[in-house]
Homo-oligomer: A and B are copies of this chain.
Amino acid sequence: MNDALQTASSPRRIRQRNEIAVLQALHHFGSLTRADLARRLRVNRSSSGHIIEALAGDGLVREVESAGRGTANRAGRPGVHLELVPDALGFVGIEIGVEHMGVVEIDLAANVVASEIRPFAGASSDVRVAASEAVRLVLDVVPPERLRRCEGVGVATPSQMDGQGRVRLAPLLGWREVDLADLVRAQLPVRVPVLADNDANAFAIGATYHGQEPPSGVTLFLVMESGVGGGIVFDGKLFRGGNGVAGEVGHLLVPDTDGEYRALERIVGLEVLLDRYCRLAGGNPLLPDLLSDVAAGKLAALGVARDWARALAFGLVQACRIIDPDRIVLGGSVAALYAPMAGHVVDAMAALQDSAFLLPEIVVTELEGSGPAFGAACMMHQRYLSLESQRLSEAADDDG
């Protein structure tokens, strides 16, 4: 992060780089032959073989047993397909939320191997308590032998982080200026890299990890619950901004129905939404009620939903002018309202912006288990596949 500009190559770091490129390629494309890899990485076939040999020796890569005969439709000797060894390594993600705490463990192939969610009174807990609770949950979920293979622990919290992963301010948890990663690291029985990040950022990375396509372009990610968080993913990597708080779409100023400007999350957030519907329709509706009423075409529900759509559209248009995403991904429980209102949102966006601009594709993700925890694990997975830790740590740093 600090030497973003000038990176020099050393004689054996070149191999490190190529091994990582192979791991990345295998991760994104599932299974490739040595010759495929040689073409893709622009190296000689023999070099590809050497690199694979080293990775196989480390147990990270293996040959696919019987790849099926479907591949051999071309003349020439068919190549042997290679794949990552899923359980060679593991990565753990922790989400510390306001009401719950979640842990997800993924393997080298980014498959979820274990996960659990547990109630936790985050709003009234000290940071140290939260950290030790989180570590206990990890130890409960991840057996010791898999923990030994763990190559990274990520912690996601609803908080503003500085660039170095310290918590600057977490109003929902009542924390400020704490090195959460350090606390967790100290409690863990194994010595692994621990990083903390914003939950929306983690969620964003997790959402891009599902698809197997090699990440490219700019994706704006929104998590809509009580608040509205956001993250920007650029060519598969997080765009954090100068102070680590980029993508705060929920704090965009958007005109409300009364003409006043408010933060977007104070218009389209869960509580506000239900509160408004309650005022029109009475009762004590929950989100599923609103959704079914919208589906049933009830006027009050449609009115609330239309206002929601208009505010969301305004915020999205603003964000599009700044970062020009080619994809917007909506997550969180409130995102379920998008499906019936998609037409309204798109129409409102088109009406609000200059016709010369393109509208990005907008999709909704279904969030399973703990999205931020999964994302936090993915961030460590991504980190492992990008020139850190691993064998590079064997070189002793003796720089002042």
Contacts and interface: CB of A to CB of B under 8 A. Distances in A.
Nearest to A263: B354
A217 B39 CA distance: 35
B324 A244 contact: yes
Contact of A8 (B21, B235, B261, B321): B21
Interface residues of A, number: 70
Contact of A321 (B244, B252, B325): B252
A179 interface: no
A169 B355 CA distance: 11
A87 interface: no
A364 to B, nearest CB: 19
Contacts of A249: 321-322
Contacts of A6: 21, 24-25, 40-41, 214
Given A6-B40, A246-B218, A323 B241 contact: yes
A184 B232 CA distance: 35
A8 B247 CA distance: 31
Contact of A169 (B218, B241, B318, B356): B356
A2 B39 CA distance: 15
A143 interface: no
Contacts of A71: none
A9 B8 CA distance: 12
23 contacts: A4-B236, A5-B235, A5-B236, A6-B24, A7-B17, A7-B21, A9-B14, A9-B17, A10-B42, A14-B14, A39-B399, A160-B356, A239-B239, A242-B325, A243-B326, A247-B324, A248-B321, A249-B322, A251-B353, A253-B314, A253-B352, A263-B354, A318-B318
Given A242-B325, A248-B322, A319-B322, 5 more contacts: A6-B41, A232-B323, A239-B323, A243-B326, A245-B357
Top 7 A-B pairs, shortest CB-CB distance = A241-B324, A242-B326, A8-B41, A246-B324, A218-B242, A322-B322, A9-B14
